[in-house]
Chain A
Amino acid sequence: MEIKNVVCPFCGCLCDDITVKVEDNEIKAVKNGCGICITKFIKHHVNAVQSPMLKKEKTDENFVNVSMDEAIEKTGEILKNAKYPLIFGLSTTECEAQGKALELAELTGATIDQLPSVCHGPSIMALQSVGQITATLGEVKNRADMVIFWGCNPIEAHPRHFNRYSGTTAGMWSDRNKRYIVTIDVRETHTAKKSDKFIKISPGKDYELISIIRAAIKGQKIPDNVEEMMGVNKDDIENLINKMKGAKYGVVFYGMGMTQSFGKELNTDGAISLVKELNEWTKFSINPMLGHYNVAGAVHVWGWQSGYPFSINFSLQYPRYNPGEFSATQILARKECDAALIIATDPVAHLPNEAARHLAEIPVITIDPKFSLTALISDVVIPCATAGIEAEGTAYRMDGIPLRLKRVVRSEFLSDREILERLIEKIKEK
């Protein structure tokens, strides 16, 4: 059986033209997806957790298989007894689960955080200080005659973005020939190679370059030693500015090169301010290249339910927000939480060691379809149906467009949402 127009649950591109061939509840082939999409679908059962399991003692070497009820019972106990629990992850599961996780955090007085803390948090923080001038990806396809990739490398991190939305795609009034593509990065990435112009910038100098461009647009002189300052020569900057002012519809895409480098949210703040100012000349937009396929989902769901996008604390029975104070990395690094529920993420693999270390000392529950590195040090591991492959739900693309994830094969396990619902019921009982 061929299932068409499946939505891929990997990156912020949320490609929805994937065809999946299924036979006897097994995925046999995947068409149209990039390498990561194909791997995700075809190998979704590789390294899968086979049963709910727990360790009687945290120091035990081995897990013991238990029933779902026992795993939920133990999890409920851990969360109920904790004084300052942390719920973390959720950027790679569907929206109803994200909503249930927030409900669970409210119920247990927990701090709940998702992945922007380590990825596009700075973009959202910039939205919160200066706003956002953006466009859905179809606008880029149809109108953009100038595209700037700043500190991002879609060819590797969002493999089909360039062909589907921003580079070679042909739209109503634009196509590759009409689009002038620039990459600004510290190294000549694959994306740079496909661009019309590559501007190499010294690491950690994005804020300086953005500021110089903003000043130059307002008529200030570009300093002569600019190349010494940031590795970019004056002519390149002048040409870039002329091209930007002359564009009919310009779009900037940016990624971790801007959000994770020195300056972080000040960089994104500056970039968005630059685009706001360009709108006095012509039409310009700026889009964050959200990495995980449903970061935008949690930003929206938690946004409409609590008013905040991530790093939310419920200790006082109402939502409070403070990046840094309530960010998972900091809470773990400062050893503040006394229990952790990890859903759809792998902090042992992806957070700095100093933070991951604390997970080895406190009770941890992991909900994940696969054996993540965090699962290996958890007290309870609960397998779940993979959203977008074995469970339906909503996901929000990097530009905020919501799509329905399909279920293409059945799983014996419950979905994240169902597991969280059971947990909520269990804790309400106690």
Chain B
Amino acid sequence: MKLITARTLKQGMAMEESKISQTYQNICATGFLNEKDIAKSDMKEGELIKAKTAYGEVVVKCSKGVIDEGNLLIPMGPWANIIIGGNTNGTGMPDFKGIDVRISKTDEKILDVKEIIQKLKEK
């Protein structure tokens, strides 16, 4: 699949209020998929999925979105950024849109921001 990360109205509002909130997590730790893709992977809206790229893996909640088949949209934020690489090919701009991603059902849990930060500190 292709990964797209983007701004959304709800993400903007939550970000301006507080990033250390359940609201922010609910909005940003979400993966939007086309309903056909949800069905194909034998999943249901609200279940947890693991998204994996060459740079890492992250657990987000599955949600139906207005998006093409073959694409996964995660709102911009710390969950999306776990799976985006730091190389910019000399442009300064990371690959925020268009990298390859695989999804699978999972029963691991969604990390909260404190846990994400804890992981940063680990070597």
Residues on A facing B (Cβ under 8 Å): 10, 35-36, 39-40, 43, 46-47, 117-118, 121-122, 125, 153, 155-157, 159, 186-189, 200, 203-204, 256-257, 259-262, 264-265, 291, 310-311, 323-325, 327, 329-330, 332-334, 346, 348-357, 359-360, 370-373, 376-377
Q: Which residues from B are CB-within-8-Å of A360? A: 117, 120-121
Q: In the complex, how many angstroms separate the beta carbon of A205 from the nearest chain B beta carbon?
A: 10
Contacts of A352 in B (CB 8 A): 55, 81, 84-86, 94
Contacts known (A36-B12, A203-B2); A324 close to B71, Cβ less than 8 A? no
> B103 in the interface, Cβ–Cβ < 8 Å?
no
A40: chain B residues at CB < 8 Å are: 16
Instruction: From known contacts A203-B4, A262-B98, A373-B113, infer whether A39 and B92 are also in contact, taking CB-CB under 8 Å.
Output: no
B86/A355 in contact, CB under 8 A: yes
Distance from A328 Cβ to chain B, minimum over Cβ atoms (Å): 8
For residue A327, which residues in chain B have a CB less than 8 angstroms away from its CB? 88, 91-93
Closest chain-B Cβ to A350's Cβ sits at a distance in Å of 6
Contact residues in A for B116 (Cβ distance below 8 Å): 348, 373
A-B contact pairs, 15 of them (CB 8 A): A43-B18, A46-B18, A118-B92, A155-B9, A204-B98, A257-B97, A323-B90, A324-B90, A324-B92, A329-B88, A329-B93, A348-B116, A349-B77, A353-B82, A376-B113
Distance in Å: Cβ of B92 to nearest Cβ of chain A = 3
18 extra interface residue pairs, beta carbon distance < 8 Å, beyond A371-B19, A377-B120: A35-B9, A122-B93, A155-B9, A203-B71, A264-B91, A310-B92, A323-B90, A323-B92, A330-B92, A349-B19, A352-B86, A352-B94, A353-B83, A354-B85, A357-B120, A372-B19, A373-B113, A377-B121
- CB contacts (< 8 Å) of B13 on chain A: these are 35-36, 39
Tier of interface size on chain B: 35 or more
Q: Is B87 an interface residue (CB 8 A)?
A: yes
List the B residue with the shortest CB-CB distance to A189.
Answer: B66
Q: Closest Cβ of chain A: how far from B15's Cβ, in Å?
A: 8
Residues of B near A377 (CB, < 8 A) are: 117, 120-121
CA distance A322 to B18 in the complex (A): 34
| Complex CA distance for A178 and B66, rounded to whole angstroms | 29
A10 touches B91 (CB 8 A): no
Cα of A129 to Cα of B102 in the assembled complex, Å: 37
Total A-B residue contacts, Cβ distance less than 8 Å? 178
Contacting pair B97 A203 (CB below 8 A) = yes
The 9 closest A-B pairs by CB, nearest first: A333-B86, A327-B92, A354-B86, A324-B90, A47-B18, A323-B92, A352-B84, A117-B92, A260-B96
Q: How far is the CB of A369 from chain B (nearest CB, A)?
A: 11
A265 (CB) vs chain B CBs: closest residue: B91
CA distance A355 to B86 in the complex (A): 6
**Are A353 and B120 in contact, CB atoms less than 8 angstroms apart?**
yes
A356 B97 Cβ-Cβ under 8 A: no
Q: How far is the CB of A130 from chain B (nearest CB, A)?
A: 16
User: What is the chain B residue whose CB lies nearest that of A44?
Assistant: B16
Known: A47-B17, A360-B120. A349 touches B81 (CB 8 A): yes
Please, which residues of chain A bring their CB within 8 A of the CB of B88?
Answer: 324, 327, 329-330
Given the interface contacts A260-B96, A348-B117, does A187 sit within 8 Å of B71 by beta carbon?
yes
Q: Is the CB of A356 within 8 A of B9?
A: no
Query: Bound complex: CA of A82 vs CA of B120, how far in Å?
Result: 22
Encode B62-93 as 1/0 by CB contact (under 8 A) with A.
00001110010100111001111111111111
B residues near A256, Cβ cutoff 8 Å:
6-7, 96-97
Is B26 at the interface (CB under 8 A from chain A)?
no
**In the complex, which of the residues A291, A329, A351, A370 contacts B18, with contact meaning CB atoms closer than 8 Å?**
A370
B39 adjacent to chain A (CB < 8 Å): no
Docked Cα-Cα span, A40 to B18, in Å, equals 10
Please indicate the chain B residues that have their CB under 8 angstroms from the CB of A157 in the complex: 7, 9, 12
Q: Name which residue of chain B comes closest to A47, CB basis.
A: B18
| Residues in chain A near residue B95, CB distance under 8 A | 260, 262
Residue of A nearest to B73 (CB): A187
B60 vs chain A, min Cβ distance (A): 14
The distance from the CB of B120 to the nearest CB of chain A, in whole angstroms, is 4
A contact residues around B20 at 8 Å (CB): 47, 371, 373, 376
